[in-house]
Amino acid sequence: MSDQSDGGRPLATRFLTYYALGYLVLIGLMGLFVDRAMRRALADEMEQRLEATARLASDNLPAEGSDLQAWATWVFQSTGLRITLIETGGVVLADSHSDPAVMESHATRPEVLEALQGETGVSRRVSVSTGFEQIYLALPPEEGVITRVSQPTRTVEAELGEVRISVLVVAALVGLLGMAVVAFLARRLAGPIEELTNQSVMAAGGSPEVSPRRSSVRELDQLGLAISDLARDLSRRLAESEEASETLEVVLGALPQGTILVDRDDQVIYANPSAYGLLGAVPDQLQGLSPFQFQGAVRGARETREPIVRVVDHGNPLRRLRAVATPFSEDERVLLVVVDITERERVDAIRRDFVANASHELKTPVSTIIASAEALQIAIGRGDSSMESFARQIEDSARQLDRMVGDLLDLSRLERENPEMARVRLDQVINDEVQRIAQVVADKRISVDVDAPPLTVAANHRDLATAVRNLLENAARYTDEAGRITVTARAGDGEAVLTVEDTGEGIPSRDLDRVFERFYRVDSARARATGGTGLGLAIVKHVAESHGGSVAVESELGVGSRFTVRLPLADSGEGSSPS
């Protein structure tokens, strides 16, 4: 039983109290009514008896000259009623209880006055002679004599008293019997009700198997069935809502966005793991939330009933966080969703820079082509010998443009596609690409040493070839005449290690970190003059990373550079591919 029920009285006590109160009121009212009715009935009966006795006495008055007083005494002894004979003038002739000689005139007695009117006079009052309340009845005069009989009213009271006692005894017995019946019924009801209460408590606790025992009371049985249905329904709903809340928990837990729910009292009622990850800590109260700008967003959304967006730099290392505070339509709760847009903004910036750089890079050869073409036209007009040189400039710029467009296409293809992996012989790729630069290195009298035993890597053949080609072209481009390029490939620790080393000009240490950036060149003019696009190493890095590997550079100015690419080895089985 719950605490709430402790204050109430048990059913039996309540039933008995109501029953007792009701019964007492009923019996009291009935008693009053019956008492009055009985009193009237007894008084009527007494009057009738008095009248009958008076008539009998009046009809049998003794002959004139007889001892009236003795006759009156005899009547009293025979009937138990006081009798008085009165002259029409009021003089008392005889009285069974007093001496007529000492009795005053009865002419003014109410019953006598009525009798003198020719009616049967009745009066009730305290007798002067006896001192008790009496009821008097006087008959109209017969031969000048009024016959009056009387009786003390206490006779009626005595009879009434006896009846009252009997009635009280019966009422008490009936009352007790009634209480016993009520107590019995209350107990019969209390048991099943208690059972139903226990079953309801079980139902409220979510138990689906609630089946109250049948009682002998139809209404209680119906209530029991209703509780069983309710329990099943409640348990099903509980299970559904638990499942829904678990699903929600899993979904919110898996979301990369930080999700925080704030109630109308600025209490944080939910925060998913990402919210902790992004903000470092989530307090119980909104006023502790950092960055504080998000507090304003929540309050603003609640006030304006409109979503509010805030972008804030926060934390160490600094992250760029974008928060949207959305008010709930039905109450004053607010949902704050926080997203880390650092990476997105960085990528956007890189993309913007890339477009700007690419346009700029493309414009240079295009401008040269236009200028050279104009100069060529003039030279042709003049029949100038510089025609050949302008034509060569146009060709060089067009080739530069071609290389640039080629590299850009390579880069965009690499970014767009997920490379299809296969087992690729790295040593063969190296040898093929070395063959491609054979002419260039031969022209510069650069020797190329290849040390690559058979080695199979998990790679996309085309991408790997592009990367190796770019490294070899760079080595050839930035190595002076009679230099040397050494290419090695080794297997070790689950990966293939490819190195391309040259005895070229080397890279200043401050530029080492940046040479893999798009369009970054140590010496732009020289790079361009030698046919560089500034995209070669960016392509190499992209290929290495998209294959699950890496690229690094070591270099010493004036001594040479060494580029090292690490790639996962192919599994010994067929069709392996790294993730």
Residue whose structure tokens are 């009679």: 482
From the list 6-14, 54-62, 235-243, 502-510, the region that binds ligand ADP by CB under 6 A is 502-510
Give the nearest distance from C-beta 515 to ligand ADP in angstroms: 4
Q: Shortest gap between Cβ of 479 and ligand ADP (angstroms)?
A: 7
According to DSSP, the residues that pair with 504 across neighbouring strands are: none
For the record, the structure tokens of 492 come out as 């070790």
Q: How many residues bind ligand ADP (CB under 6 A)?
A: 23
Can you tell me which of 339, 475, 498, 551 binds ligand ADP, judged by CB under 6 A?
475
Of residues 310 and 521, the one with the C-beta less far from ligand ADP = 521
Q: Minimum Å distance from CB 354 to ligand ADP?
A: 13
Scan residues 513-532 and list those touching ligand ADP (CB under 6 A): 515, 520-523, 527, 532
**Left if phi > 0, otherwise alpha if psi is -120 to 50, otherwise beta: which for 215?**
beta
Q: Which three-class secondary structure state does DSSP give residue 71? A: helix
Instruction: Choose between 459 and 537: whose C-beta lies nearer to ligand ADP.
Output: 537
Q: Segment contacting ligand ADP (CB under 6 A): 227-235, 386-394, 503-511, 564-572?
A: 503-511
Cβ–Cβ under 8 Å, residues 154 and 130: no
Distances (CA, A) of 202 to 1, 195, 237, 247, 299: 11, 11, 15, 26, 42
* Residue 534-553 contact track with ligand ADP, rule CB under 6 A, x = bound: xxxxx---------------
**Candidate residues 220, 379, 478, 544; the one interacting with ligand ADP per rule CB under 6 A:** 478
Contact between 365 and ligand ADP (CB under 6 A)?
no
Task: Kindly report the three-state secondary structure assignment for every residue of 262-288.
Answer: ECCCCEEEEECHHHHHHHCCCCCEHHH
Q: Which residue has tokens 């790295």?
A: 426
| DSSP strands (E only) in 88-120 | 92-95
Q: Which of residues 557-576 bind ligand ADP (CB under 6 A)?
A: 561
Q: Is 210 left (phi over 0), alpha (psi -120 to 50) or beta?
A: beta
DSSP label at 9? P
* Least distance between ligand ADP and beta carbon 425 (Å): 24
Q: How far is the CB of 336 from ligand ADP (least distance, A)?
A: 44
Q: Which of 533, 565, 567, 569 binds ligand ADP (CB under 6 A)?
A: 533
What single string gives the DSSP state of each residue in 174-234?
A: HHHHHHHHHHHHHHHHHHHHHHHHHHHHHHHTT-S---PPP-S-HHHHHHHHHHHHHHHHH
Q: Which is nearer to ligand ADP, 460 or 474 (CB)?
A: 474
Interface with ligand ADP (CB under 6 A): 470, 474-475, 478, 502, 504-507, 515, 520-523, 527, 532-538, 561
